[in-house]
Structures are given as C-alpha cells and as structure tokens.
C-alpha cells in the first residue's frame, strides 16, 4: 500500500475524532477554581520502556526530537535524546522505590541496572512528567480542564520510528469520563521499507480515554482505558480480541501510528507482547498542587532517655513517600534509616542530640518532592532513676568497699564521679564505669568502729543531674592479740608479783587498760584474790600486785578490757607460787 493511500486512511480516521468541546456541556461548574502549576505523570505502558528486537529498546525522550533524515538508530552524538526540556522531564524508577532521570547510557536499563528485554514484564518503567499546567476545576461538579505546555517523544526500535506529542490537554466531565488530547507530530516510517521517511502533518489526537475519574480534591489517579476497547481500520492489521490482554489505545492514537509505523504496538495484535501494550494500572496521575511537608510541632525533644515522636503532615497527591532526616549541631543532613512513615519516634535522647534538628522529606504520587521546615531537637538533663549502694561489715583496720550503682534511663548509663561522705568528711570517690557502677574503697582506719550513716553523692554529667543516696556502713572492733608473761613464777611471801602484758590490734599497739587477777588456789592463799589494772603505753604494761602475804599457789588471769576500736581479749592463765 503506497504512502498516499496511508494518508487517506489516516485522514478518514481523524475525521471521526471527537472534538474536545463535546465534553463541555457535561462540565457545568458551580464553583470553578483556577489552577496553576498542575503536574501530570504518565506511566504509559510497559512497551514504551521495553526491549526491542532491534535497537536495544523503546524509550521516551523529553521535547520534540529533530529529524534524523531517515529511519535509523539514534546515536548519542545526534543530541536528540533529552531527559528534560522546559516543563517536561522523563524519569524511571529506582531500585529503592524512587525516581531519577535516565541518561543516554541508562535509558534502556530497568530498576536493577540491567538492560531490558522483549520479555513480558521487562521494562525500564520510564514515564513522562509535565509541570506548570494551568486550568480550572470544580470539585463539587467533578469537572476539570487543564492544559500543559511542552512536548515529549515516543522512540521505538532505538530511533527507527519516533513521534511526538505537544501541549496535552485534560478534560474531565461531571460523569467521570474524560480525555487527554494533544498535538501529534512525527515522521512516516515503515519497518518493512526502511527508505520510507516523511514528515507528517500535525494532528490533534486523543491520547487517553477515562471512564471513572472521581475525587478532584487533591488530584487524579486513574488507569486510561485499554482492556476491551476495540479498534478497526481497513489499513491496519486485524485486532485480536481474545485473551486477557486484548484492547486498544484510542482510535485516533492508533490511526496516527499507521503513518509512524508503530500502529500494532498500540492495540492487541495477537502477538506475545500484547500484555506489554496494556495501559499501566494507576499510571496516570495528576496533582493539582505541588506537595508540601510540615511537622506538627515547632520543636521535638525531652530529657535523657525520652523517645519523643514527631508527626508529619503531607499535602498533595497521595500516596506519599516519607523520609525523615536529621542533623547534629553543625552537622550535615542525613536520612534516618527506616524512618519512612508519617510519624517518627526518635531513639532515646542523649546529650549528642542537643542543638540538632529534624525535618521531613515527602514525595507525592508523582514523585515530586517537598521538604518541611526544620524543627529543633531539644535536650535537657534528666534525674537518674536511683542512687544505690551496698557494703559488707568490716573490722576496724581493714579497707571497706562500697558498691555503688547509679541507674540511668532507657539504657543510657550514668557517667562521671561518685563520692562517699560521712558527716562532712569525704572518705572515698571514684569514676563510674560504662555500666554506671563503681566500687569505692574506704582507707583502713578512716572510720571508727560502729554504724555510720554515709551519703553517696553523684556529681552529675552531661546527661544527668546530680543525685544522692544513703548507705549504712558497719565497722566492727578489730581483734586483739594479747600476750602475758609472769616475771617470776615463784616469789617470797610479802613480795610483789609482776606480769608483763603486750597487746596489738589492727596492726598497731593497742590502747586501753588491762586487768590482772591473782587468785589463790592452794595453801594458805586459797580463796584469796588480788586484782590490779594498768593502762597500756605503746601497747605494753607491767602490772604489779600488792604484797602477797599468804603462801600458796596463785592462778593468774589477764584480760585486755578493749577500746573503741579493739575487742577485749583474755590471755592464757599463768601460775605464781608464794613461799
């Protein structure tokens, strides 16, 4: 079939295109609202990003592409490929769920970074995004009219065939039906006749039909009609109307592509790739306003160990993707791993959070981003949960140990110094370990024997206020080592008996008094008793009796009477004979 006949067939098809004004009677607007900066994102179908049997892949390009002069592959040197042009950009999904701009080198890659193939399900997922749309909407009536300025290009077989759409217009009627229209331009090509290359006259065509558009408050999320839509043109290959993926793009859309050589890519033709032609579910998205992000409070914070929650608010076209970001005082903004919800509970606060800030980054259903104003993260010291101490009783003269525990909050250990005070005297101090504990050692002889009420003082840290607690210390009297020696074990009547006594306690000479008793056990002395006491000097004393007048045997007992810090002690009994 020659090119002239193809043009005639297309002209006949375009002649039955519905004028967009035909939607106007159903668009009575009770309270129309002027719109500006409306965004449109259209993920058309898998085929526009799928692999090609020749030329690596099909792809989208921003702007109207120049004339290659023949049906051939594009090269990077042509300069035709663009990821953005004016109000229009091309983007494709990332492995992390976001969107980025493809390059000449990556345009044929899927989200995983590998080249796409002709297999069903393999696609780059590229889409076209328009910004700066203007028009009106009437939420009550359910009507809208929006126009965008700009162009994009469908490129198939790596450039062997391509065409462009300029200045799309969206009209939505009150019954939920609507159309996206635009002006098509391009070049006539025939894959079976590569020499065919003709500049085509501009034509207004229907890009997408809608039947179920509802809810115009924030935007539109819709699936353009395809499944079950019939297409017939005597100049086209017959449509296949069997299987789960049969359907068609609007007739004028396909008719125009009879000239570009792409017609069978826009309706079911019975091939293995029919499923890739189906319009992307919810792939048509319109946002009436750029997204905004705010945090509901001016600050967020608390004291050490608190886990405050920040609440984010997003406006625009749902669904929203959230990412909370934080920075330390003077630091750089960092995304918080896993903080991808509308609310964010901060980890337990520490002094490192003081002077920091928090903000929320939002992407709307089109992938447009907004960042909230930053809010301050506030921090204050907390009181420790408890100050506790335990100690075992020790004898006077031994070192005493006091185990101290300062309980912090939320697993944040207390740090710093603790002191042990008895009365006004500091008897021990130490630094807390990583667990908020310390063992304080009281020097030997720092405390006299007895019970002592001691104060544990925590001096505080960057995280915690100072605190205090009480502990009772028990110091018992030291044991005494007592020796006694009778100077003469046999004396004459009316002579004095002398006993030499030595006492040591806590490693030093004992102080205090000793008492010596001579008790007669035999002879005339039996039943007689004499007692004498003496004060130790440097732990020693010579204890003398009065004159022992009665003859006989005396049993000598020696007792150290003890002191404030030393225990009483008895020495082994001795014997003295008086003759």
Task: Please state, as a whole number, how many other Cβ atoms lie within 10 Å of the Cβ of residue 483.
Answer: 14
Tens digit of pLDDT per residue, the chain (579 long)? 333 333 333 333 333 332 333 333 343 445 689 999 999 999 999 999 999 988 899 999 999 999 999 999 999 999 999 999 999 999 999 998 889 999 999 999 999 999 999 999 999 999 999 999 999 999 999 999 999 999 999 999 999 999 999 999 999 999 999 999 999 999 998 766 777 899 999 999 999 999 989 878 889 999 999 999 999 999 999 999 999 999 999 999 999 999 999 999 999 999 999 999 999 999 999 999 889 999 999 999 999 999 999 999 999 888 899 999 999 999 999 999 999 999 999 999 999 999 999 999 999 888 889 999 999 999 999 999 999 999 999 999 999 999 999 999 988 999 999 999 999 999 999 999 999 999 999 999 999 999 999 999 999 999 999 999 999 999 999 999 999 999 999 999 999 999 999 999 999 999 999 999 999 999 999 999 999 999 999 999 999 999 999 999 999 999 999 999 999 999 999 999 999
Those residues whose C-beta lies under 8 Å from the C-beta of residue 548, and which sit 6 or more positions away, are 491, 493, 494, 495, 496, 497, 518, 525, 530, 554, 576, 578
Q: Is residue 125 located within the same domain as residue 272?
A: yes
The last residue of a domain, from among 271, 287, 303: 287
Residue 226's closest CA among 247, 212, 204? 247
User: What is d(CA 480, CA 560) in angstroms, rounded to the nearest whole number?
Assistant: 8
Q: Is residue 98 located within the same domain as residue 239?
A: yes
Residue 541's closest CA among 513, 561, 566, 504? 513
Tokens of 420: 């042990």
User: What is d(CA 576, CA 26) in angstroms, rounded to the nearest whole number?
Assistant: 137
Task: Please state, as a whole number, how many other Cβ atoms lie within 10 Å of the Cβ of residue 463.
Answer: 24
Question: What's the pLDDT at 290?
Answer: 86
572 is in which domain, residue-wise?
480-578
DSSP H or E segment with residue 92: strand 88-93
Residue 293's closest CA among 318, 316, 326? 316
Q: Is residue 517 located within the same domain as residue 463?
A: no
User: What is d(CA 55, CA 70) in angstroms, rounded to the nearest whole number?
Assistant: 15
Q: Is residue 150 located within the same domain as residue 39?
A: yes
Provide the whole-model pTM: 0.71
Q: Is residue 371 located within the same domain as residue 434?
A: no
The last residue of a domain, from among 287, 317, 349: 287
Question: What's the pLDDT at 355?
Answer: 96
CB-CB contact of 504 with 481 (8 Å): yes
Those residues whose C-beta lies under 8 Å from the C-beta of residue 187, and which sit 6 or more positions away, are 67, 68, 71, 161, 162, 163, 197, 198, 199, 200, 260
Q: Helix 251-260 to helix 3-15 angle, to the nearest 10 degrees?
A: 170
Q: Which letter, b or e, does each residue of 264-297 get, where b requires 16 or more Cβ atoms within 10 Å of its Cβ?
A: bbbbbbeeebbbbbbbbeebbbbbbbbbebbbee
Question: What's the pLDDT at 191?
Answer: 65
Residue 216's closest CA among 292, 313, 135? 135
User: What is d(CA 62, CA 151) in angstroms, rounded to the nearest whole number?
Assistant: 6
Q: Is residue 330 located within the same domain as residue 461?
A: no
For tokens 């490129």, name the residue.
Answer: 155
Q: Is residue 226 located within the same domain as residue 351?
A: no
Q: Is residue 333 located within the same domain as residue 268?
A: no
∠87-289-33 over CA atoms, to 5°? 110
Phi/psi for 472 (5° steps) reads: -100, 130
DSSP H or E segment with residue 253: helix 251-260
CB-CB contact of 418 with 382 (8 Å): no
Q: Is residue 334 located within the same domain as residue 396?
A: no
DSSP character at residue 116: P
Q: Is residue 127 located within the same domain as residue 196?
A: yes
Q: Is residue 150 located within the same domain as residue 270?
A: yes
User: Residue 432 class from Cβ within 10 Å (0-12 exposed, 13-18 middle, 19+ buried)?
Assistant: buried
Question: What's the pLDDT at 89?
Answer: 97
Assign residue 485 the CATH number of its domain. Answer: 2.60.40.10
Q: Is residue 175 located within the same domain as residue 222?
A: yes
Total structural domains within the chain: 4
The last residue of a domain, from among 338, 362, 380: 380
């Amino acid at each position: 079939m020659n090119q002239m006949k193809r043009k005639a067939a297309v002209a006949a098809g375009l002649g039955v295109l519905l004028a967009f004004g035909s939607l106007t009677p159903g668009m009575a607007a009770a309270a129309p609202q002027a719109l500006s900066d409306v965004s449109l994102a259209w993920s058309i179908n898998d085929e526009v990003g799928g692999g090609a049997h020749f030329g690596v892949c099909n792809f989208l390009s921003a702007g109207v592409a120049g004339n290659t002069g023949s049906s051939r592959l594009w090269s990077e040197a042509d300069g035709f490929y663009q990821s953005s042009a004016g109000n229009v950009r091309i983007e494709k999904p990332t492995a992390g769920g976001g969107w980025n701009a493809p390059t000449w080198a990556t345009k044929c890659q899927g989200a995983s970074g590998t080249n796409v193939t002709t297999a069903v399900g393999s696609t780059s997922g590229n889409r076209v995004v328009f910004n700066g749309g203007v028009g009106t909407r009437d939420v009550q009536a359910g009507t809208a009219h929006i126009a965008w300025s700009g162009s994009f290009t469908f490129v198939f077989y790596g450039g062997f065939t391509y065409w462009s759409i300029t200045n799309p217009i969206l009209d939505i009627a009150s019954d939920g039906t609507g159309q996206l229209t635009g002006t098509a331009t391009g070049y006539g090509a025939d894959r079976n006749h590569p020499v065919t290359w003709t500049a085509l006259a501009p034509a207004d065509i229907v890009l997408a039909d809608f039947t179920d558009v509802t809810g115009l408050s924030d935007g539109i999320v819709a699936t353009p009609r395809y499944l079950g839509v019939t297409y017939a043109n005597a100049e086209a290959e017959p449509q296949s109307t069997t299987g789960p993926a049969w359907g068609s793009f609007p007739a004028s859309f396909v008719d125009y592509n009879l000239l570009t050589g792409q017609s069978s890519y826009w309706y079911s033709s019975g091939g293995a790739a029919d499923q890739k032609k189906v319009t992307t579910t919810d792939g048509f998205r319109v946002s009436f306003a750029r997204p905004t992000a705010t945090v509901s409070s001016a600050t967020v914070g608390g004291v050490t160990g608190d886990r405050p929650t920040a609440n984010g608010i997003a406006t625009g076209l749902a669904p929203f993707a959230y990412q909370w970001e934080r920075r330390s005082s003077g630091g750089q903004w960092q995304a918080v791993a896993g903080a991808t919800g509308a609310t964010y509970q901060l980890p337990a606060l520490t002094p490192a959070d003081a002077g920091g800030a928090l903000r929320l980054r939002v992407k709307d259903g089109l992938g447009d981003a907004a960042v909230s104003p930053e809010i301050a993260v506030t921090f204050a010291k907390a009181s420790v949960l408890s100050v506790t101490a335990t100690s075992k009783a020790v004898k006077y003269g031994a070192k005493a140990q006091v185990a101290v525990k300062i309980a912090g909050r939320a697993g944040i250990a207390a740090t710093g110094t603790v002191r042990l005070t008895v009365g006004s005297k500091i008897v021990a101090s130490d630094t807390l370990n990583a667990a908020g504990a310390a063992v304080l050692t009281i020097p030997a002889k720092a405390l006299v024997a007895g019970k002592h009420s001691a104060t544990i003082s925590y001096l505080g840290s960057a995280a915690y206020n100072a605190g205090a607690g009480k502990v009772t210390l028990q110091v018992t009297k030291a044991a005494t080592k007592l020796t006694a020696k009778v100077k003469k074990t046999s004396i004459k009547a009316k002579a004095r008996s002398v006993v030499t006594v030595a006492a040591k306690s806590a490693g030093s000479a004992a102080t205090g008094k000793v008492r010596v008793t001579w008790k007669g056990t035999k002879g005339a002395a039996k039943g007689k008793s004499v007692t004498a006491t003496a004060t130790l000097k440097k732990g020693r004393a010579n204890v003398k009796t009065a004159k022992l007048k009665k003859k006989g045997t005396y049993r000598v007992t020696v007792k150290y009477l003890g002191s404030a810090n030393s225990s009483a002690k008895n020495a082994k009994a001795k014997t003295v004979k008086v003759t």
